[in-house]
Structure 1
Amino acid sequence: MFSLIKSGGILMIPIILCGIAATYIIIERLLYFKNLRKNDSLLKLQLIAVLLKKDYEAATALCVACETPFSQVVQKAISVRNLEDKYLKEIVETEMEAVIPQYEHCLTLLGTIANISTLLGLFGTVTGNIKAFGVLGAGASMGNPAVLAGAIAEALVTTAAGLFVAIPSMIFSNYFTRLVNKEIVILESSVTEVVLKLTGHLL
């Protein structure tokens, strides 16, 4: 395996680094969204009970302990619950916009990694072919077969490695983007329900 990686040349270093970064981001986001759903589901059930009792201190404490975008918006809504409806709505909408980047954390970087990995693989293909043609141009017949094989290996290995990193990175980037859009819709719906309870429009 090491000899195969080594045959890809110096460009394998940034490709491997991209692969490590992409793997970290993918695992981190998968765990984040898994815990997000679990924590928010539990918080919603607990909020229903305390809001029916109008125990806003307990509701705030639950939100502080949860530490999710939903809990952050609800906490803000509770703190301004005595304002007029139109002002409360504006503040809550502003807070929702402020927490959206938490869903999108590192997703732009993941998409960038997918593009960079593809380009690095393509760059390796070009440099490998340049070396191969250089060997052919320098030799009488087929040049030095060992050097020629090394140049071709560099082109193929970097291309394969770049695609190996880029393809799953792109797939998960698109998956997380759709997931973020879904979570934002759920956030808006859940927050609206809580706000209606706070303002007395929903029992």
Structure 2
Amino acid sequence: MDDEKVFIAELLNPKTRETAFRQLVARYGKPLYNHIRTIVLNHDDADDVLQNTFIKIFRNLENFKGESKLFSWMYRIATNEAITFISQRAKKLGLSTEEAQQKAILNLKADDYFEGDALQLKLQQAIAILPEKQQLVFKMKYFEDLKYEEISEILGTSVGALKASYHHAVKKIEEYIVNN
């Protein structure tokens, strides 16, 4: 039995669940935070979404079927939580999702945890004009250096479609940066 299957068995066993879940949080907290942060942009928002993600993971461990890797399953939950957060925030502010993302980008300058320069802000603005799927694919590939196969498992999309999305995203971003 491989390590992941043993770890999943520990997560599902009521006697070892709490300890195994602490290990899961320690192992995946930072990568999941970074993934969420690329989507929601703000540090405090990313922390909130990360907490919600781990709550959802904990509550749904019994539903994990092992059809994908644990990593992919958790990233899918984190991605959905981040997208839901953005949609809810936009709705609360009476804005479209795109307008809410543009507002979040403007707020990046004031975010103490943002270490980027003017070019990084321009890149974020360019990413924000992309359709949601292209944004996700670009961020996962560019910022997180995930393989297309991993992104495919997370988003439930074919590798070919992901490559096309990434290519289109890069072209649109290049065009935006050159023209703005």
TM-score by length of 1: 0.22
Structure whose alpha-carbon radius of gyration is higher: 1
Higher helix fraction (1 or 2): 1
* TM-score calculated relative to the size of structure 2: 0.24
The structure showing larger relative contact order (alpha-carbon pairs under 8 Å, at least 6 residues apart) is 1
